[in-house]
Structure 1
Amino acid sequence: MALIRNFPVPSDRMAIISTLLNIEDAVVLEYGPEGTTHFSMNFFNKLGQDYPDRLFTTGVDDSDIIMGSTEHLERGILELDALYSPKAIFVLTSSVTSIIGTDIAGICDSLQSKVQSRLIPVNTSGLGADYSAGLRKIYLQLAELFVQPDAAKQKGRYNILGASPLHYRAESDICEITRLLREGFGCELLHCLAMNMTTEALAELSSAELNIVLTAEAVPSAEYLQSVTGTPYVYLPPYGYSQTKEFLNSVAAVIGQPVKEAMLQRLEEKNAD
């Protein structure tokens, strides 16, 4: 059937924008039609992502598309830098500007010396790739762009990777993992990729002694962090009593520290109930 009767799976573009909106000292500038960004903002607002002054658009007209003019984009970058002084400006293509092959990387390079913000191009068309692909791409890209490989490790600290604000039960999962690792090992959360982040926090991801991976989309970023910083990771979400115990034992094996007996005893008592 040619007609699409239901809402489609969210695109990679939606995943990337949703993730980048959680970086508190950065802004997102989309080079595309005003209506595209307008509907994106409405969508995110309805899902509880209401971040004023973080998502912007340049707007495009027929001349921009036909002639390939990027004047609006260049002016938009300069204005955002002057008005908000963000640590980073993520410059995104929309579907239409991606199709015509706008060189946003070249534009960012040419303007970098004229602004204080770090300019970061992100190509995303929203065509042909789904939400999961977008998460894999942006988690890995953020790690590659910001992580400092030589940062000193912080004893007993860990990161959670793959907690997207649009994932079901993300906040609940974070709270549960935080409780388990505090009671089981005395470890404390350092940062959570990618919720309530800053560019400084992204740079500090390498300071953790362990990465806890919540979703498959975050595995490439965890593998990258392990390769460049030596930080091991555990990918075994603690769902259910038996898997929670397995999760704790996996963490214990990686960090070389046994699970506290009181924690294991509480699990056994709840499982018996």
Structure 2
Amino acid sequence: MGLHRFKPIPSGRMGILWTLSTIRDAALVEFGCMGHMLYNGVTLQHTGVHDVSKLYSTHIDETDIALGGTNRLNKTIANVVKRDKPRVIFLLPSSIPEVIGTDIPAICEELQHEYPEVDLLPVGYGGFDIIQHRGVQEALLLLVKSLPIDTARTPQPTFNIIGSCADMFRFQADANEIIRIMKGAFGMNPVCVMTSDTSIEDIENMGGSHINLVIRREGEPAAKHLKERFATPYIVDRPYGIDGTIRWLEKIKEMTGLTIDADFIKEEQAISRSRLAPVMPQFRHIVRSHPEEAILSLGGHVDVVRGILAFGCRELFLSKGRCWCNCPDMGSEDIPYFSEEEWSRVIKEHKKGYLMASGEALEWAGLNRDMQISNPDTKWRLHPYEPPFVGFRGAVHLANLWINENIED
């Protein structure tokens, strides 16, 4: 691993941990160094996640590594079953067992008959060969392949959210806004919010929903699997802005055949536009008279960057600035991947306009950390009640950030 001034791209193992650690009625046991789960637990607390999966690490020493011993893992599983009685235990190898070839699936198969009341699920990708986003993708896919049961559609229309994970900034607030909008527009409730607010039972019942809302592209393989098994349609998109959210709802209407509650949409539009009305003249003045201050630059998850950029440019007439994503596998011509050297240079050169990026980058540059849209974070987030970025309320929140940023500049 090379030298980094900032946090490097997390490994696939971290993506798996952030995805699985938030599931209730489950335990996550890592066959690896004792400090890993401690750090992961602290990170989850920083993001506002509490009292969800039980997190354990077995610890390993030189003897385990040299001789391939797994007795610690066997004993840990026995203790976890006795102490917590989880529905599922996820078994994850850390980098060293992965490198030396410890066969976690074989261990699960060997021990499963001893614990018929608990599912032992091995999770791969503990090594350094994949990065965070692939880890999230594989964890989501493992869940939908392993846990959903055969079930009929719910009597009333329902939905699942796929891809609300603890590695995304404001993940809880965005999921809550989507739930609010789906309830208001269609009268639909969620079966499963995977994985930021879910339980093993919720995941088991995912097949009963009428549509899957995939809010990050890493969740699409999981949605494809659910479509093949349960014939559940899915949409891969995040709703940003007033007009953008309505377009998103129209797509859901077309897929489900449901009728949108026109009164709800009318009311949400009226509320949002009335709150934006006082500052719209100022936005128009900035765009017309100070175009260099109306440039919107963004860095973070590609789906977040693309969505916020679309709202800013289409609905508030801002101009696209330097935009980048934080995953080398997701870069494209319009939103490329920037290395640490590249994005730090962009931020350092930033003078005018709006810049939204990770909390770590904004703090380093001495910029307004209220403009954060991605992790790494540098603050505690003790509650899930902060304003979202998506949906109708997210549109007002973003406009509020931008107009105040212009005033402070």
TM-score bracket, normalised by the shorter chain, equals: over 0.9
- What one-letter code is carried by the residue in structure 2 that aligns with 1:30? E
Quote how far apart the aligned CAs of 1:135 are: 0.8
The residue aligned with 2:96 is 96
SS in 2 for 1:119: strand
Quote how far apart the aligned CAs of 1:259 are: 1.8
The residue aligned with 1:247 is 248
Quote how far apart the aligned CAs of 1:52 are: 7.4
User: 1:21–1:51: 8 Å Cα contact kept in structure 2?
Assistant: no
- What one-letter code is carried by the residue in structure 1 that aligns with 2:245? T
CA RMSD of aligned residues (A): 1.9
SS in 2 for 1:206: helix
- What one-letter code is carried by the residue in structure 2 that aligns with 1:83? R
- What one-letter code is carried by the residue in structure 1 that aligns with 2:222? S
CA–CA distance in structure 1, aligned partners of residues 212 and 119 of structure 2: 27
The residue aligned with 1:112 is 112
User: 1:14–1:126: 8 Å Cα contact kept in structure 2?
Assistant: no
The residue aligned with 2:18 is 18
The residue aligned with 1:176 is 177
In structure 2, the CA distance between the partners of 1:3 and 1:249, relative to structure 1 (3 Å rule), is: same
User: 1:245–1:267: 8 Å Cα contact kept in structure 2?
Assistant: no
Aligned length: 272
User: 2:164–2:193: 8 Å Cα contact kept in structure 1?
Assistant: yes
User: Are 1:143 and 2:144 matched, yes or no?
Assistant: yes
User: Are 1:58 and 2:53 matched, yes or no?
Assistant: no
Quote how far apart the aligned CAs of 1:185 are: 1.7
CA–CA distance in structure 2, aligned partners of residues 52 and 143 of structure 1: 19
The residue aligned with 2:39 is 39
Deviations 1:28-78 (A, max 9, x none): 111011123333333333333344771111111101001111111111112
Quote how far apart the aligned CAs of 1:222 are: 0.9
- What one-letter code is carried by the residue in structure 1 that aligns with 2:71? E
Q: Map residues 65-104 of structure 1 onto 2, 5 A cutoff.
A: 65-104=65-104
User: 2:164–2:196: 8 Å Cα contact kept in structure 1?
Assistant: yes
User: 2:34–2:58: 8 Å Cα contact kept in structure 1?
Assistant: yes
Quote how far apart the aligned CAs of 1:101 are: 0.5
- What one-letter code is carried by the residue in structure 2 that aligns with 1:124? Y
- The structure having more radius of gyration, on CA atoms, is 2
In structure 2, the CA distance between the partners of 1:35 and 1:257, relative to structure 1 (3 Å rule), is: closer
User: 1:157–1:187: 8 Å Cα contact kept in structure 2?
Assistant: yes
The residue aligned with 2:227 is 226
Quote how far apart the aligned CAs of 1:98 are: 0.6
Deviations 1:203-249 (A, max 9, x none): 10011011111111111111111111011112221101221111111
Q: Unmatched 5+ residue regions in structure 1?
A: none
In structure 2, the CA distance between the partners of 1:265 and 1:219, relative to structure 1 (3 Å rule), is: same
- What one-letter code is carried by the residue in structure 1 that aligns with 2:106? G
Larger RCO (CA within 8 A; separation ≥ 6)? 1
Quote how far apart the aligned CAs of 1:7 are: 1.0
The residue aligned with 2:350 is none
SS in 2 for 1:43: helix
SS in 2 for 1:6: coil
- What one-letter code is carried by the residue in structure 1 that aligns with 2:27? V
The residue aligned with 1:212 is 213
- What one-letter code is carried by the residue in structure 2 that aligns with 1:85? K
- The ranges of structure 1 where at least 4 consecutive aligned residues each deviate by more than 2 angstroms after the TM superposition are 1-5, 35-53, 263-273
- What one-letter code is carried by the residue in structure 2 that aligns with 1:65? I
User: Are 1:194 and 2:217 matched, yes or no?
Assistant: no
In structure 2, the CA distance between the partners of 1:6 and 1:52, relative to structure 1 (3 Å rule), is: same
Q: TM-score, normalised by structure 2?
A: 0.63
Quick one: percent identity of the two aligned structures? 28
In structure 2, the CA distance between the partners of 1:129 and 1:210, relative to structure 1 (3 Å rule), is: same
- What one-letter code is carried by the residue in structure 1 that aligns with 2:153? K
SS in 2 for 1:221: helix
Q: Unmatched 5+ residue regions in structure 2?
A: 278-409
Quote how far apart the aligned CAs of 1:14 are: 1.2
Quote how far apart the aligned CAs of 1:268 are: 4.7
- What one-letter code is carried by the residue in structure 1 that aligns with 2:238? P
- What one-letter code is carried by the residue in structure 2 that aligns with 1:194? T
- What one-letter code is carried by the residue in structure 1 that aligns with 2:25? D
Quote how far apart the aligned CAs of 1:89 are: 1.0
CA–CA distance in structure 2, aligned partners of residues 185 and 62 of structure 1: 58
SS in 1 for 2:4: coil
